[in-house]
Structure 1
Amino acid sequence: MIEVVSAARCISCDICIRVCPTDVFDRGEDGVPVVARQSDCQTCFMCEAYCPTDALYVAPLAGPAPSGSPHADEDVLAAAGSLGAYRALLGWGGGRTAGSRRDANAELADHPPLAEARLAAPAPTTDATWHSGP
C-alpha cells in the first residue's frame, strides 16, 4: 500500500497521479501529490515504478502501515534505500540494469532451438469421420 510521497524528491510531474489505476492521489496545493484515498490502493506499485525521482514508497503490506512502522517513516526508508526500491528492482531509470536482463532464463533466448526439437507439420487428414459439420 502507498505509504510515502517524499516532498523533497518530488518534481510535481504528476506521473503518479496519471498512472494510478484507482485514483489514490490528489495534487496538493504545493504541486506535490498527496495520498487522498489510501484505502483504494491496490499495491500495484505502478506509481513507484513510474516515479522518475524515486519519491514514492509502496509498502508490501495489504493494509496501511501501523503507527510507528518504518514502512511509513521517510527518513528510515531513505536511509535504507527503500524509496524507489521497486523501480530499481525493475531496472527502470538511468544507470540501472533492467530486471529482465538479470533473469537467468533470458540466457535461453541466446540459443537457437534445436532442429530435432521442432515438430513436423501434421499431415492432411483424409479420415471421413473427422469433420466439423453434421
Structure 2
Amino acid sequence: MIEVVIKDRCSGCGDCVEACPSDVLALGAGGKAVIAAQADCQTCLLCELHCPADALFVWPETDRVAGVTAERALASGQLGAFRRDHGWGEHAATHTNQHWRMGAIFERARLQAMDIAATKTARTEEGCST
C-alpha cells in the first residue's frame, strides 16, 4: 500500500497520478503529489515505477497501513529500487527489463495445465469404462 510521498523529492510532474489505476494519488494545492485515497491502493507499484524523482514509497502490505514515515522510507535505501531493478528511465542501460519474457513462462504454464487436465480426464474416463 502507498505509505508516503517524500515532499522534498516530489517535482510535481504528475506522472504518478496519471499512472495510478485507482486514483489513489492527486496533485495537492502545492502542486505536489498527495495520497488522496490510501485505502484504494492496489499495491501495483505503478506510481513508484513512473516517479522519476523516487519520491514515493509503497509497502508490500496490501490490506493495512504500515505507518512508514518519510524518515523511515529515506533511511530504508529502497526509494527508487523498484524503478532501478526494472530497468526504467536512467536505469535502462544497467538493469535490463526482462518482463517481456513472462509471456513464454505463462504459455508454458498454460500448456502444462492443459496436459494435467487431459491426464485427469483420461484417468476418469478409464475408471468409468472398466
TM, length-normalised to structure 1: 0.66
> Which of the numbers 84, 90, 115 marks the counterpart of 2:86?
90
State the structure with more CA Rg.
Answer: 1
Could you list the runs of 5+ residues in structure 1 that have no partner in the other structure? 106-134
2:14 maps to: 14
Residue 85 of structure 1 and its aligned partner are, at CA, apart by 1.9
Residue 99 of structure 1 and its aligned partner are, at CA, apart by 4.1
CA distance in 2, matches of 1:75, 1:65: 16
The runs of at least 4 consecutive aligned structure 1 residues that moved more than 3 Å come to: none
| Kept in 2: contact 1:3–1:64 (CA 8 A) | no
Query: Number of matched residues?
Result: 99
1:79/1:29 Cα in 2 relative to 1: closer, same or farther (>3 Å)?
same
| Kept in 2: contact 1:2–1:57 (CA 8 A) | yes
Query: What's the % identity of the aligned pairs?
Result: 42
TM, length-normalised to structure 2: 0.68
* 1:26-105 to 2 correspondences below 5 Å: 26-66=26-66, 69=67, 72-95=68-91, 97-100=94-97
More helix by share: 2
Residue 95 of structure 1 and its aligned partner are, at CA, apart by 4.6
CA distance in 2, matches of 1:61, 1:15: 23
Could you list the runs of 5+ residues in structure 2 that have no partner in the other structure? 102-130
